[in-house]
Amino acid sequence: MGKRFDFEYIVIGGGVAGTTAALRLAKANRKVAIIEQNKWGGAGMASRDVPEKALFSFSHLYADAIAGNKFGITSSNLKYNYPTVVHWRDTATQKAVPKKKDLEAAGIVCLKGKAHFISTNDISVGDGKFSANKFIIATGAETSTEGISGTEIVPYYTPTSALAIQRPPKAVIVVGGGSSGIEIAEYYAELGAKVVLLESADQLLPKEDIEVGQVIEQYLSKKLGIKIFTKTRVIALEKDKISPKVVFMRNGQERTIRVETIVLATGSAPATDLGLANAKVSFDKTGIVVDRTLQTSARNIMAVGDVIGGESSTERAIYTAEVAVQNILERSKTYVNFDGFMRVVDTNPQIATIGITEKELAKKTKKYKKVIVPLSAVQASITSDFKIGFIKLLVDSQGKLVGSSLICPNAEIVLQEISLVMRHNLPLVQIASTPHRNGSWTELIKVAARQILSAKK
């Protein structure tokens, strides 16, 4: 490192990807600074992942207790104390999220403020200016409200801020039927709110196969009473002396709904507003452009996490940060490999998917096999009286498992076996011949593997 640089490395973004990269560099005795504009821990851990897990664990437990009459649980007078729930959320977040003092204890210099590149080696943070030999950009993503007017004058929540409320609403409209939208819709409904869910596509979870969207729509509407409108495009938020209003198009007609609370779960966009042109870093609306080693168009700058686009998850953010640091420290060319990474929706039942969808596979080849096995095929559905869901496996023309979807309790745990198979390209016969505990949800994996191995193309 030349003497003119203040640091060997500056990491931009104090979320899970940024802190992972900074801590690993510091452990290797590098002189590191990290920049964070808002919360240390970032939206991923501090505002989303940990609060979500804490709150959803509560709401699912509460909903299950109410539904426990069939098992002999008397729940007619069951109530919850939301201040206690909020305290549990905050306690869990305080314990689980990395803190500024943890970074400083590792020898990392923490800089607070908005980062803006001046050149490929120089950056401003508020009124200060700093230089580094190399940078890692880990600024994540921001909520996108593109196409909806009135967002600057009408109060609304995002999926993240909706978890920070001190009092649950009595009525809410959730705009967006992706993973965050249906999670928030279910959460409020489990607490007793009247919920309306609007989605512009023709199914919920439009990135997944149609069966997934159909099953979760049936569950949310019939079990929780959520009113769901697909093929519905929100165009504006308005407000008068009475209440906020959501204006939307449905069946070619403009309509309006009044509501107490609005949550916009309309997706996110990579956070690229940091003077990238000054650093000669290429980017577009999908994120910062990187190669398979996470190198940007500037030789001394790498990018990791949600800012590079693609599927958003904490696991992927951590993984990309680890690969980037490995390539920096070892001067190697380790390529990112996202095979086996899981997409999880924390509803109850949980939704977990891996690999490509049938829609994507059908575009690549006409020859493939699929199998869909309902939960009723295994004993666990009887003992738990739970039949909403299925497992789906997709095998390409070469007999390779390329995709799987699962809707069932603890789906993320059950589908981990499929993650192992796809990550390491193992043959399906190994699953089919592996013992699975009788009476567990994992039997679904064995049943599906055996069926698809015997299925004709």
Please, which pLDDT band fits residue 291 given cuts at 50, 70 and 90?
A: very high
Please, which pLDDT band fits residue 12 given cuts at 50, 70 and 90?
A: very high
Q: Angle at the Cα of 158 (from 156 to 163), degrees rounded to 5? A: 110
Domains of the chain, each with CATH number or no CATH? 7-41+98-143+269-330 (3.50.50.60), 161-266 (3.50.50.60), 342-454 (3.30.390.30)
pLDDT of 97 higher than 80: no
pLDDT of 348 higher than 80: yes
Say what the pLDDT of residue 411 is. Answer: 96
Q: What is the DSSP string of 336-358?
A: P--TT-EEEE-SSSEEEEEE--H
Say what the pLDDT of residue 2 is. Answer: 46
The set of residues, in sequence order, having a beta carbon less than 8 Å from that of 72 and lying 6+ positions away, is none
pLDDT of 320 higher than 80: yes
% of the chain exceeding 90 in pLDDT: 78
Using one digit for the tens of pLDDT, what is the confidence trace for 179-236?
999 999 999 999 999 999 999 999 999 999 999 999 999 999 999 999 999 999 999 9
Using one digit for the tens of pLDDT, what is the confidence trace for 23-73?
999 999 999 999 999 888 766 666 678 888 999 999 999 999 988 888 888
Backbone angles phi, psi at 228, to 5 degrees: -115, 130
Strands of the 342-345 sheet, one edge to the other: 342-345, 350-355, 401-408, 390-395, 369-374
76-99 mean pLDDT: 86
SS3 309: coil
Whole-angstrom Cα distance, residue 256 to residue 252?
13
Whole-angstrom Cα distance, residue 73 to residue 64?
10
Nearest CA-CA partner of 62 in 348, 345, 384, 388: 348
Whole-angstrom Cα distance, residue 267 to residue 142?
8
% of the chain exceeding 70 in pLDDT: 98
Query: How many residues comprise the chain?
Result: 457
* Residue 94 burial (CB count, 10 A): 11
Nearest CA-CA partner of 187 in 359, 10, 325, 179: 179
Using one digit for the tens of pLDDT, what is the confidence trace for 411-425?
999 999 999 999 999
Backbone angles phi, psi at 423, to 5 degrees: -65, -40
CA 50 to chain centre: 12
Whole-angstrom Cα distance, residue 13 to residue 370?
42
Higher-pLDDT residue of 89, 40: 89
Say what the pLDDT of residue 71 is. Answer: 85
Task: Determine which of 18-32, 83-97, 113-127 has the lowest per-residue pLDDT on average.
Answer: 83-97
Nearest CA-CA partner of 390 in 224, 218, 200: 218
Nearest CA-CA partner of 314 in 46, 17, 12, 38: 17
For 146, counting Cβ atoms within 10 Å of its Cβ (0-12 exposed, 13-18 middle, 19+ buried), the class is exposed
Say what the pLDDT of residue 43 is. Answer: 63
Say what the pLDDT of residue 3 is. Answer: 58
**Average pLDDT of the residues of the chain:** 92
Say what the pLDDT of residue 336 is. Answer: 95
Q: Answer yes or no: are the C-beta atoms of 48 and 159 closer than 8 Å.
A: yes
